[in-house]
Amino acid sequence: MQVDTLDRPSRESGRPFREPRPASAKASIVHDQPNLTSGGNVFPAAAPSAAAYEGEYLPPGSGPPPSKQSGWKKGVGPAVVGAGVLFAKFKSLLFLLLSFKWVLIGSKVLLSSFSFVASIWFYSLFFGWPFAVVFTLLILVHELGHAAFMRIFGVPATMPYFIPGFGALIQMKGRPASALQESYIALAGPLMGTVGALACFTYGEATMSKFWLAAAYTGFFLNLFNLIPVVPLDGGRVIGSVSPRVWIFGLIGLIVAAVAFHWFNPLLIIIVLLSIPKAIAAWRGDIDPAYYALTPLQRGGVAAAYFTLVGFLIVAMLESRVTI
């Protein structure tokens, strides 16, 4: 009688053991011992049957080979996960930086707007609210002329800030490429301001309104005053492209006019004090020759534009003068 003995793994043998599943599950039968006859002869082991139990012992490496993935598939997954982790970690910081940028811009706009309203309030104490609003708007138009040409020449600048009683200013954060560009930027302010004052004059003439004529007169005077050829006024920057040595004559003329017409106020004192070092340095020749290197045609063009605008403003003041 032939006896087939299957050596199944047991808990005592130390081999892995799992509970068998029904015979329908596919698995392999492994014969660890040969078949023996009653006589002890060794015969080849019988072929495994198709119906097998899971739970049979499988030697290492006898299972199906693991699936292989290409290198780029292995790298994409961790990269996506890493990017997601970084975004989740730093999105708050990015949001904070963007918020800080808008807060900074908003604070500058708020400060400029506040200075505008403060100027209206200050001038209303002397001239009333309607005139204070129009006068401050004329100052704004003047400053926007500067800002427009700064943008054209790519010169970064601050927003216009109003100083009650002293006008307004826009500070350049860079230097123009040449004195010619600086003269255009400086001339743009009085030119745009003159256009604004001319609009008031035209409306005043059409309606026979002394209010608008007075506003026009004030606007013409404001722009003419800014064309005095001393630094830091617009006229000094314009005439500097013609010859910086003219600054010393502009300074002397301003002092003489202030004494003759009793123009003693803090604004004139500040202008004189600021212009003295520049005028002396220019007279001595302590300037950048490359920066002020203009052709005779360019110097003549700037001078013609400057004196034409000055003459027009004088005539416009005479035409718009009214008694209220």
Higher pLDDT, 15 or 156: 156
* Cα distances (Å, whole numbers) of residue 198 to 56, 134, 190, 221: 105, 13, 12, 12
Residue with the larger pLDDT of the pair 14 and 231: 231
Average the pLDDT over 70-75 and give the result: 50
The CA distance from 2 to 13, in Å, is 26
Report how far residue 279's alpha carbon sits from residue 230's, in angstroms, rounded to the nearest whole number: 8
- Please state, rounded to an integer, the average pLDDT across all residues of the chain: 78
Give the bridge partners for 3, in sequence order: 36
149 is written with which tokens?
Answer: 């040409």
CA atoms within 13 A on the CB side of 204: 19
Contact 253, 233 (CB under 8 A): no
Residues in the chain: 324
Query: Is the pLDDT confidence value at 149 over 90?
Result: yes
Q: How far is it, in rounded angstroms, from Cα 12 to Cα 7?
A: 13
The string of pLDDT tens digits covering residues 83-108 is: 555 555 555 555 555 555 555 566 77
Instruction: Give Cα separations from 98 to 55, 92, 107 (angstroms).
Output: 62, 10, 14
Q: Place 34 in a pLDDT band, splitting at 50, 70 and 90.
A: very low
CA pair distance 61, 38, nearest whole angstrom:
35
Query: Can you tell me the mean pLDDT for 273-281?
Result: 93
CA 228, 234, 236, 241 dihedral sign is negative
- Local structure of 36: helix, strand or coil: strand
Neighbouring C-alpha atoms within 13 Å toward the C-beta of 11: 2
How far is 322 from 217, CA to CA, in rounded Å? Answer: 8
What is the reported pTM? Answer: 0.67
